[in-house]
A and B are shown apart, each in its own frame.
Chain A
Amino acid sequence: DTAVSQTPKYLVTQMGNDKSIKCEQNLGHDTMYWYKQDSKKFLKIMFSYNNKELIINETVPNRFSPKSPDKAHLNLHINSLELGDSAVYFCASSPFIGGSETQYFGPGTRLLVL
């Protein structure tokens, strides 16, 4: 009964390829997020969605495109992968939009671009 799940867990691919990471939450939350964690463990928000609407879109290359088909899912598609995209990508969700809300994180997707 994983609360926030991500697939795949590991992703190894060549430069220039296109890949997608899927995220699902079964907590009934309204808000979902994508974070990137680099090799130094620095965690940076990329996107957030509330009720399928984009709320935060940080300075991220437009090769990254999030898609939220419904409140429980937030997928991340990456075009033309580059070496610098290698990182761990975390999906998270929170009950509502708002600063005091706890975010619940998925286990992460480890992306390695060769």
Chain B
Amino acid sequence: AQSVTQLGSHVSVSEGALVLLRCNYSSSVPPYLFWYVQYPNQGLQLLLKYTSAATLVKGINGFEAEFKKSETSFHLTKPSAHMSDAAEYFCAVSNNNDMRFGAGTRLTVKP
């Protein structure tokens, strides 16, 4: 069975600072990995996904994530946080038709 663990339920950064949201996965087969974002009172929206092509994946809104098999990690980064990045972020792992989400990380951006 696959699973993901998101380290840190809440991350707070200053506007303009680096954003780093951590995700570690567990999967018995090569995984497909996703980052989704949820803004308040909305559904989830895909930021980026890894599907065994390039290990560095670029997504929307300046986010990117790097797949590191040796560390079983898929951390999400953005060089410079913007106020509009404040949201809940979910890492997910998928195998066949079964997507499992992490517990989420709430990102707060301080002015």
Contact = CB atoms under 8 A, between A and B. Distances in A.
Given A56-B98, A98-B96, A105 B43 contact: yes
A90 B43 contact: yes
Interface in A68-114: 90, 92, 97-108
Interface in B81-107: 88, 90, 94-101, 103-104, 106
Interface residues of B, number: 26
Contacts of A48: 97
Nearest to A50: B97
Contacts, number: 63
Interface stretch (B13-21, B45-53, B67-75): B45-53
B42 interface: yes
Contact of A31 (B32, B36, B51, B97): B97
- Point out which of B41, B44, B96 has the most chain A C-beta atoms below 10 A from its C-beta: B44
Interface of B: 31-32, 34, 36, 38, 41-46, 49, 51, 88, 90, 94-101, 103-104, 106
8 contacts: A4-B43, A40-B103, A41-B38, A42-B103, A98-B96, A98-B97, A99-B95, A107-B43
